[in-house]
């Protein structure tokens, strides 16, 4: 994969060192068997792309036995084209079917091909075919391609040692002759940069990424991006009655903290109540005294990925989106460990909003720290709306796999905004129910509620039902359970195998931009 990606003027590219990528729409008869190579039919290349094909090599690529116009399929033109020694035809799929998800797959295919051939530069001229197709604007197409290139360029090699040979990862310069496509490329790369901030922090091991380390990273990001950052720890947590953080984190030698980031718009937003973004930031989760068994602990450094996503989103909001409304982020950071100081099953915790919680399972700790943040968002921030992200339940993985995040949102207006942002970002959500009967499931015989009902019925909904007790009536709230989507499972598209996806960074950026 490329090491870094930059967008440069097309005039600065030297054709001798760049690869040319053009697009073709699949205009073959609909009855063509799917297993047979599809050809674009008599029209072949669109008129503007054909004008680049001085020697006929691009047309010749369409006649190769391996050619397909399916989305992301790439065929090399023999001998290059238009002064480019290497040229490729990229399949864009059926007419009218192009959308952002397909464009990201196409962008990832181009990025992977650039890495495969070690191209230091690429002229991406697929906009001619996109214009001719008309299903998606060049600016949006460029944004999708930029996101794909940027996400594939993420560097996870910080902890490689001397026993590993460093893989060659050349930098890539991108150019296009279409100004709108170029603007989209720049926007997509900027959003990917914010997502990669979250991904690198997510991948940082727990002996490094302690709550205090996360706080320092937030401060550093805030200084560069122009965000105000405050950290509550120690006695400040006691004064703020952060019951969940104090109890969940007290067994660890790495103390808990609440990290607050604030974006304040310049010349606007005065008097507006903020949108509040909340992230579960468990830097490691052993399960506490309800200890995880077998290999259940492996990968628990990713239990901070809700907070990582919110931190990356705040970077995007401050540097890319720049909305005319205030935005506040709360990262509830703690390590769930084991010691003689650990909180116990049977403990009862009293929260700042007066709700009492009987602890039945110390491995249901994320909801306990999120409860603090939700109380604070309602009372102290006077939130206009709240969105929280958390790797909260294994149940949501059983329900939705790695295709969708679970969405719980009973406010129609906020839900519409989240769904629109999910569609724009390609980070999919699926609404799950929040009937009052689920809240009844969380009732305790000795306190107000349980933190976990031993009955596994409606397991992912239990977490959301618990959290609902800490959101003031009338405050629009959306809970996103990202346990199934925060890490990639395969080496395809914009991600390589077993790395953090940064899920939620782009969705939250799109959400704030659209509100």
CATH number of the domain to which 173 belongs: 3.40.220.10
Phi-psi label, residue 487: left if phi above 0, alpha if psi -120 to 50, beta otherwise: beta
Q: In terms of domains, do 241 and 282 share one?
A: yes
Asked if 81 and 87 count as a contact pair (C-beta separation under 8 A), the reply is yes
As a whole number of angstroms, the distance between CA 230 and CA 213 comes to 14
Look at residue 186 and tell me if it is in a domain. no
Q: In terms of domains, do 80 and 206 share one?
A: no
Q: In terms of domains, do 112 and 250 share one?
A: no
Q: How far is CA 41 from CA 94, 124, 125, 510, in A?
A: 12, 23, 21, 38
Look at residue 311 and tell me if it is in a domain. yes
Asked if 183 and 484 count as a contact pair (C-beta separation under 8 A), the reply is no
- Distance between first and last Cα of the chain: 35
Q: Which of 134, 150, 178 is the last residue of a domain?
A: 178
Query: Which residues are paired to 409 by β-bridges?
Result: 478
Asked if 89 and 61 count as a contact pair (C-beta separation under 8 A), the reply is yes
Q: In terms of domains, do 124 and 214 share one?
A: no
| Nearest alpha carbon to residue 1 among 126, 100, 148, 102 | 148
Give the CA count within 13 Å in the CB-facing half-sphere of 126.
34
- The domain in which residue 408 lies consists of 193-514
Look at residue 438 and tell me if it is in a domain. yes
| Nearby residues of 83 by Cβ (< 8 Å), 6 or more positions away | 15, 16
Look at residue 188 and tell me if it is in a domain. no
Q: In terms of domains, do 317 and 424 share one?
A: yes
Query: Which residues are paired to 334 by β-bridges?
Result: 282
Specify the number of domains making up the chain.
Answer: 2
Q: Is 352 a catalytic residue?
A: no
Active-site residue, from 73, 217, 304, 367: 367
Residue with tokens 């496509």: 181
Q: In terms of domains, do 108 and 142 share one?
A: yes
Query: Block means of pLDDT (10 residues each) for the chain, length 515 residues?
Result: 78 84 84 48 73 88 91 92 91 92 97 93 94 90 97 89 78 94 97 98 98 98 98 98 98 98 86 96 98 93 98 98 97 98 98 98 98 98 98 97 98 98 98 95 97 92 98 98 95 92 98 96
Residue 353 structure tokens: 């909003």
Q: Is 223 a catalytic residue?
A: no
CATH code, domain carrying 455: 3.40.630.10
Query: What order of strands is seen across the sheet that includes strand 348-350?
Result: 348-350, 356-358, 449-450
Q: In terms of domains, do 281 and 423 share one?
A: yes
| Nearest alpha carbon to residue 286 among 251, 247, 256, 333 | 251
Look at residue 185 and tell me if it is in a domain. no
Look at residue 183 and tell me if it is in a domain. no
Q: In terms of domains, do 197 and 174 share one?
A: no
Query: Which residues are paired to 480 by β-bridges?
Result: 389, 407
The reported pLDDT for the residue numbered 270 is 75
Q: How far is CA 71 from CA 37, 104, 107, 422, in A?
A: 13, 10, 10, 21
Q: In terms of domains, do 174 and 202 share one?
A: no
Q: In terms of domains, do 130 and 253 share one?
A: no
Q: In terms of domains, do 108 and 198 share one?
A: no
Burial class of residue 479 in the structure, from the number of CB atoms within 10 Å of its CB (0-12 exposed, 13-18 middle, 19+ buried): buried
Active-site residue, from 186, 219, 250, 292: 292
Q: Which of 111, 146, 178 is the last residue of a domain?
A: 178
Full DSSP string of 180-200: HHHHHHHHHHHHHHHHHHHHH
Q: In terms of domains, do 22 and 161 share one?
A: yes
Q: Which of 155, 178, 201 is the last residue of a domain?
A: 178
| Nearby residues of 340 by Cβ (< 8 Å), 6 or more positions away | none
Asked if 467 and 371 count as a contact pair (C-beta separation under 8 A), the reply is yes
Q: In the chain, what are the helix, strand and coil shares in percent, each to the nearest 5?
A: 35, 20, 45
Residue 30, SS3?
A: coil
As a whole number of angstroms, the distance between CA 154 and CA 95 comes to 33
């Amino acid at each position: 994969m490329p090491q870094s990606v930059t967008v440069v003027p097309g005039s600065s590219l030297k054709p001798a060192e760049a690869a040319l990528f053009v697009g073709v729409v699949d205009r073959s008869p609909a009855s063509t068997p799917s297993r047979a190579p599809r050809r674009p039919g008599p029209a072949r290349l669109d008129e503007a792309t054909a004008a680049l094909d001085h020697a006929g090599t691009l047309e010749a690529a369409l006649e190769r036995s391996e050619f397909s116009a399916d989305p992301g399929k790439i065929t090399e033109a023999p001998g290059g084209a238009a002064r480019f020694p290497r040229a490729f035809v990229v399949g864009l799929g059926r007419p009218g079917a192009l959308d952002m998800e397909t464009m990201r797959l196409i962008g990832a295919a181009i990025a992977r091909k650039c890495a495969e051939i070690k191209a230091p530069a690429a002229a991406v001229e697929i906009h001619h075919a996109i214009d001719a197709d008309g299903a998606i604007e060049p600016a949006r197409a460029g944004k999708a391609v930029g996101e794909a290139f940027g996400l594939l360029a993420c560097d996870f090699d910080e902890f490689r040692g001397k026993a590993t040979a460093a893989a060659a990862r050349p930098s890539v310069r991108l150019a296009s002759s279409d100004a709108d496509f170029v603007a989209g490329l720049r926007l997509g790369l900027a959003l990917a940069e914010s997502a990669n901030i979250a991904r690198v922090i997510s991948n940082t091991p727990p002996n490094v990424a302690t709550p205090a380390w996360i706080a320092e990273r937030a401060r550093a990001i805030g200084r560069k991006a122009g965000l105000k950052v405050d950290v509550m720890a120690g006695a400040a947590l006691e004064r703020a009655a952060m019951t969940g953080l104090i109890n969940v984190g007290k067994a660890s030698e790495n103390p808990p903290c609440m990290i607050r980031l604030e974006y304040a718009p310049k010349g606007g937003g005065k008097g507006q109540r903020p949108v509040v973004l909340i992230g579960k930031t468990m830097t490691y989760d052993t399960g506490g005294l309800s200890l995880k068994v077998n290999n259940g602990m492996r990968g628990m450094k990713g239990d901070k990925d809700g907070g990582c996503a919110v931190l990356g989103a705040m970077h995007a909001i401050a540097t890319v989106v720049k909305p005319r409304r205030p935005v506040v982020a709360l990262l509830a950071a703690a390590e769930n460990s084991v010691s003689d100081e650990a909180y116990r099953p049977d403990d009862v915790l009293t929260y700042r909003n007066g709700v009492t919680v009987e602890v039945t399972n110390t491995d249901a700790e994320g909801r306990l720290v999120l409860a603090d943040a939700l109380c604070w968002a309602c009372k102290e921030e006077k939130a206009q709306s709240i969105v929280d992200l958390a790797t909260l339940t294994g149940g949501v993985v059983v329900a939705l796999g790695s295709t969708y995040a679970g969405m719980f949102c009973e406010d129609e207006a906020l839900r519409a905004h989240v769904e629109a942002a999910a569609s724009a970002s390609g980070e999919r959500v699926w609404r799950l129910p929040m009937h009052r009967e689920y809240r009844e499931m969380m009732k305790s015989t000795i306190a107000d509620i349980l933190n976990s009902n031993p009955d596994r019925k409606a397991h992912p909904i239990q977490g959301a039902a618990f959290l609902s007790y800490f959101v003031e009536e009338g405050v629009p709230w959306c809970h996103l359970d990202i346990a199934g989507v925060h890490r990639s499972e395969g080496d395809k598209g914009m991600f390589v195998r077993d790395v953090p996806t940064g899920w939620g960074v782009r969705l939250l950026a799109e959400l704030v931009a659209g509100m």
